[in-house]
Amino acid sequence: MKRIWQHPQEPKTGRRYWRSVGELERRSEFMNKLGVEFPAGDTMDEHEREKQLVREKYAQEIRAAQAAGQLAFGENYLQEALAKMADLADLPLEWHFIGEIQANKTRQIAAHFRWVHGLADAHHAERLSRQRPPGLPPLKACLQINVSGEATKNGVPPEAATALLAACRQLPGLEVVGLMAMPAPAVGEAAQRQPFLALRQLRDRLASPDCPLRELSMGMSDDLEAAIAEGATLVRIGTAIFGARS
Ligand SMILES: Cc1ncc(COP(=O)(O)O)c(C=O)c1O
């Protein structure tokens, strides 16, 4: 039996978790778009069912992107990433952790990712290096720099980058390959380029022959042209490829 995802007026049998009728309508539209077959007598909790469908949708999207030639995928939610890795284990993908690093996540990040982009703490760096499983190459790392000086943003201030780099370079399980930034949103390409230029200039000052810091991880959907114009080697594009997160 093909079941249309529960309409707001239907009596709910599953757990009630919808925040509003508007939200339910949007979600039910999304579920119906997926055109999923529900077995007769299906009693799965709505919440569990939604989670499963979203997981299938993510996997389909990544398969489509891989088929189009995209091999590197960035994730900022660890548990979501681990589920995707399990679903896509048959594909030769390269996984980048781009979210905030927390001490209680370092073991799994070190075990499952090839790259981290948001490294901004020597203590996290030490844990990642120590927890990198033997047999894997060093974890590639970009140091996150708070180029816009925003109090709420992760990243070390530019003047602390030298010390962080020196600390990270002592660690055998890490290979510092570049810098990363997520500047404050700005309007217009000229304004957007400023912080990216600052990151490139900082990289040029920190780089040395035995640590060339080739990578500049900068640019997202709204400012990728500005980032590329300033020398980005890695752009982290979410919305422009996969749409806004539902
Ligand atoms: C660190 C980081 N980079 C890149 C992105 C992708 O941003 P956008 O969807 O604007 O392309 C995100 C989104 O959450 C992010 O957290």
Q: Quick: pLDDT tens for 111-157.
A: 999 999 999 999 999 999 999 999 999 999 999 999 998 888 899 99
pLDDT higher than threshold 50 for residue 3 = no
- Ligand 1 in contact with 162 (CB < 6 A)? no
Average pLDDT on 63-74 reads 96
**237 CB near ligand 1 (under 6 Å):** yes
pLDDT at 20: 41
- Nearest-10 crossing angle of helices 21-34, 46-67: 50
pLDDT at 101 > cutoff 90: yes
**Residue minimizing CA distance to atom 8 of ligand 1:** 238
Degrees to nearest 5, angle at CA 237 with 229 and 167? 80
Instruction: Using the predicted structure, report yes or no on whether residue 6 has a pLDDT greater than 80.
Output: no
Query: Which strands make up the sheet holding 115-119, listed edge to edge?
Result: 72-75, 94-97, 115-119, 139-144, 174-180, 215-217
pLDDT bin (cut points 50, 70, 90) of residue 32 is: low
Q: Is the beta carbon of 76 within 6 A of some atom in ligand 1?
A: yes
Greater pLDDT, 246 or 152: 152
pLDDT band at residue 34 under the 50/70/90 scheme: low
**What pLDDT band is residue 41 in, cutting at 50, 70 and 90?**
low
Task: Provide the pLDDT confidence category of residue 25 given band limits of 50, 70 and 90.
Answer: low
Q: Ligand 1 centre from 53 Cα, in Å?
A: 22
Other CB atoms closer than 10 Å to residue 115's CB: what's the count? 24
pLDDT exceeds 80 at position 44: no
**The pair of three-digit structure tokens given for residue 13, joined into one six-digit string:** 């049998």
Q: What is the average pLDDT value for the chain, to the nearest integer?
A: 87
Which atom of ligand 1 is nearest to 245's Cα? Answer: 9
The C-alpha atoms of residue 147 and residue 88 are separated, in whole angstroms, by 35
Angle, vertex CA 24, rays to CA 22 and CA 30, nearest 5: 110
135: CA distance to ligand 1 center in Å?
Answer: 31
Fold classification of 98-242 (topology level): TIM Barrel (3.20.20)
- List the chain domain ranges: 98-242
**What pTM, to 2 d.p., does this model score?**
0.83
Phi-psi sector, 159: left (phi>0), alpha (psi -120 to 50), beta: alpha
List 216's β-bridge partners, or say none: 179
Backbone angles phi, psi at 14, to 5 degrees: -85, -170
In the chain, which ranges are E strands? 72-75, 94-97, 115-119, 139-144, 174-180, 215-217
CA 246 to chain centroid: 15
Least confident range from 27-41, 151-165, 194-208: namely 27-41
Query: Alpha-carbon distance 82 to 210, whole Å?
Result: 33
Contact 219, 196 (CB under 8 A): yes
Q: Is the CB of 236 under 6 A from ligand 1?
A: yes
